[in-house]
Amino acid sequence: MGITLFGLYAFAVGYSRAKVKEQMITVKIDDERCKGCSLCVEFCPKGSLSISDRLNMKGYFVVSFSHEKGCTGCATCALVCPDVAIEVFKN
């Protein structure tokens, strides 16, 4: 089965849309506020957050964010964080 021009076009459009969406969402984590409780990790519907191997000044392993899992910018993580360590921006 060959690749049609339309197939290539559809792939390029889908890819660039995903990239634009990715660039429009910023999830900012304040490492020094995070206490590594994992609440945001549990509630993130996309699995975009995980506990990293980075320690903050208080000795907690802090959360890290990855765009790879397709964050939607829903801001659930920011809402559930008891320490207000997460901000979500949509540009």
Per CB under 6 A, does 52 bind ligand SF4?
Answer: no
Q: What are phi and psi of 12, to 5 degrees?
A: -65, -40
CB of residue 13 vs ligand SF4: minimum separation in angstroms? 23
Kindly tell me which residue out of 22, 46, 64, 87 binds ligand SF4, with binding defined by CB under 6 A: 46
Contact 62, 41 (CB under 8 A): no
- Residue whose entry in the numeric block shows the structure tokens 């559930």: 80
Give the tokens for residue 74: 């829903």
Name the site residues for ligand SF4 (rule: CB under 6 A). 27, 29, 34-40, 44-46, 48-49, 63, 65, 71-77, 81, 83, 85-86, 88
